[in-house]
Structure 1
Amino acid sequence: MRKFVRSLGNATNGIKHLLRERNFRIQLVIGAVILSLGALIQVDKNDYYWLLFCTFMVLLLEGINTLIEKLADILRPYYDERVRVLKDTAASVVLLGSAVSVLIGLSIILQTIFGSHFAVGLLFGIIILVVFFSLGLFGGGRE
């Protein structure tokens, strides 16, 4: 039992480290806002489970991304093109998970608020994602 309690302490320390990461904090706040909004507008229980799943999926992916980046920095503290590709790929996994979450979240929230077909939320989500992906393609990712 002592080992289990120690493991819980280590996991709690890991969460403290994640909370120091800017992107994790941003995603945590966005997730809290979405979950609060879902509760406020009283989305269907199953839809709320989807919002909860999407929120924690993004947080888990960001945690894995942080892990990969920290590990890469330890193994290669100097610039290495292979490490850059590794970090960019890990970040893209978070981006893709976030994109799916935006589509699902908008579908649920717009359907609940306006009674619209779920595809309306998907369409708005796709438009938003195209804008953000375009920003990344044409201006982001350069140092």
Structure 2
Amino acid sequence: MILFPKFFKSLNYAFQGLGMLLKENNFRIHLLIFGFGLLFGWFFDISVTEWLFVILGNGLAIASEGFNSAIEAVVDLASPDFHPLAKKAKDIAAGSVWITAMASMICHIIIFLPKIINFVESLL
């Protein structure tokens, strides 16, 4: 049985979390890059497959930034003072964000660089 009041309460918590993420600088940077990906995708009329890579790549980078922020908050709560294991957890989470961001960037380059080159060549 589906409990809709419980679902809507959970949805409210999710939107509260998104509101908190919007205050995070790196999250806003990922959103800006996603916006450029959407704009370039529209401008260059990319294929469905290319759209999937742009949306999935950016979605993973944005989600990993959210996981990173959550891990940092929990680590700060559990270890307010410096501890090498706290640093390790935070650094590994940040490194994971970097991995997804680089994968997303590589997708953008593979999809958009040839289109940008063709566009510039058509102007010359």
Counting matched residue pairs gives 115
**Residue of structure 1 in register with 2:70 after alignment:** 67
Distance (whole Å) between structure 1 residues aligned to residue 30 and residue 50 of structure 2? 20
14, 17, 23: which one pairs with 1:14? 17
Distance (whole Å) between structure 2 residues aligned to residue 32 and residue 44 of structure 1? 17
Q: TM-score, normalised by structure 2?
A: 0.88
Distance (whole Å) between structure 2 residues aligned to residue 56 and residue 13 of structure 1? 18
Q: Which has the higher contact order (CA 8 A, sep 6+)?
A: 2
94, 104, 108: which one pairs with 1:105? 108
Q: Would the aligned equivalents of 1:43 and 1:112 in 2 still touch at CA under 8 Å?
A: no
Question: What CA deviation, in whole Å up to 9, does each residue of 1:93-135 have, x standing for no partner?
Answer: 00011111111110000133335xxxxxxxxxxxxxxxxxxxx
52, 56, 81: which one pairs with 2:55? 52
TM-superposed CA distance for 1:44, in Å, is: 1.3
Q: TM-score, normalised by structure 1?
A: 0.77
3, 7, 28: which one pairs with 1:4? 7
Q: 1:16 corresponds to which letter in structure 2?
A: G
Return 5+ residue gaps in structure 1 as ranges: 116-143
TM-superposed CA distance for 1:81, in Å, is: 1.1
**Residue of structure 2 in register with 1:124 after alignment:** none
TM-superposed CA distance for 1:82, in Å, is: 0.8
**Residue of structure 2 in register with 1:93 after alignment:** 96
Distance (whole Å) between structure 1 residues aligned to residue 105 and residue 13 of structure 2? 32
**Residue of structure 1 in register with 2:26 after alignment:** 23
Q: Which runs of 4+ in 1 moved over 2 A?
A: 111-115
Distance (whole Å) between structure 2 residues aligned to residue 17 and residue 105 of structure 1? 27
- Aligned-residue sequence identity (percent) comes to 29
Q: Secondary structure at the match of 2:45?
A: coil
Q: Would the aligned equivalents of 1:51 and 1:105 in 2 still touch at CA under 8 Å?
A: yes
CA RMSD of aligned residues (A): 1.0
Return 5+ residue gaps in structure 2 as ranges: 119-124
TM-superposed CA distance for 1:39, in Å, is: 1.1
TM-superposed CA distance for 1:54, in Å, is: 0.6
